[in-house]
Amino acid sequence: MSPTIATRPCADPSKPPLLAFVVGASGGSRIITSIVQATQKMLPRSHTMSFPKAQFEPLPDILAAPRIHDQLSPNMTLVEWTYDNSTVAGLRERGHNTTYVMPILSAVQAVRLPNPEIGLLDWEAVGEPRQKDSGGVVV
C-alpha cells in the first residue's frame, strides 16, 4: 500500500491546510501508476473564471476507469483491454510494445472529503469497484 495524501489551503491562511483526499493501492510495481491515474482524475477540473465551480467526476467512476502501466523492465506497456484504443494506437505508432491485459492491474481505494467552497458537498469512500467479492461500510 502506498497512500497519497492531498491537502488544500484553508480559507483562513493562518490555519494549517485541510485534508482533500487520500488514495492508495496494492498491486506491486503497478501501485504508482494506478495512484497517479486516480489522483489526476480526482483533482478539480475547469476551475477557471469561466467555470467558477470545479467539475468533479464521481469517485466510483474514477476508480472504475481503465488503467495503463509502463515500466522500464520489462519493456512493455500493459493496457487494460477497456482502455481507449486511440491512445493505444498512438503508443504503438511511437514504438511502444503494448499488451492488452484484463482489468485489475491493481486495487485502488480512495477517500475524498467535502469541500463546499468548490461545490463538493459529500464524503466519498470507495474501494476498488472492479474487484469481485469485496465490499466495505462507511459509518
Mean pLDDT across 92-120? 87
Residues 83 and 117 in one domain: no
Residues 73 and 119 in one domain: no
What is the chain's mean pLDDT, rounded? 84
Residues 95 and 111 in one domain: no
- Position 56 pLDDT exceeds 80: no
Give the pLDDT of residue 120. 76
Cα→Cα distances 80→8, 54, 100, 102, 116, Å: 32, 29, 6, 6, 35
Residues 74 and 58 in one domain: no
What residue type is assigned to position 19 of the chain? L
Residues 92 and 111 in one domain: no
Residues 114 and 52 in one domain: yes
Residues 75 and 59 in one domain: no
Residues 75 and 134 in one domain: no
How many angstroms separate the CA atoms of 39 and 4, rounded? 8
Tell me the residue range of the domain where 76 lies.
Answer: 68-102
As for how many domains the chain has, the answer is: 2
How many angstroms separate the CA atoms of 137 and 139, rounded? 6
- What percent of the chain has pLDDT above 70? 85
Residues 43 and 73 in one domain: no
Give the pLDDT of residue 8. 87
